[in-house]
């Protein structure tokens, strides 16, 4: 894991058990913060995500992590 818990979109999606598009949407809605800009340079903090439940041996997804709460004022989708 990178410094300050910042990870790529792919790693954030795996951690949360959600598709990368969902991670991007959560950032757009203000549920989580994006760090950096540009293609391939965006990072997300794992501390803002809820961990997915995975099988101890196979790492297969059992339950995805819960969605972060919406901020008081959210962007329209």
**Domain range annotation of the chain:** 3-59
Number of neighbouring beta carbons within 10 Å of residue 74: 11
pTM for the complete prediction? 0.83
Q: Are 31 and 49 in contact (CB under 8 A)?
A: no
pLDDT digits (tens, 9 = 90+) for 1-21: 456 789 999 999 999 999 999
Q: Are 16 and 65 in contact (CB under 8 A)?
A: yes
Helical (H) or strand (E) element with 28: helix 20-29
Tell me what pLDDT residue 39 has: 83
Helical (H) or strand (E) element with 58: none
Q: Is the pLDDT of residue 74 over 70?
A: no
Tell me what pLDDT residue 76 has: 62
Tell me what pLDDT residue 18 has: 96
């Amino acid at each position: 894991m990178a410094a300050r818990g910042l990870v790529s979109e792919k790693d954030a999606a795996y951690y949360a058990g959600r598709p990368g598009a969902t991670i991007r949407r959560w950032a757009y809605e203000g549920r989580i913060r994006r760090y950096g800009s540009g293609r391939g340079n965006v990072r997300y903090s794992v501390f803002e995500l809820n961990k997915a439940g995975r099988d101890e041996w196979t790492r297969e997804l059992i339950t995805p992590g819960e969605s972060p709460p919406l901020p008081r004022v959210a962007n329209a989708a």
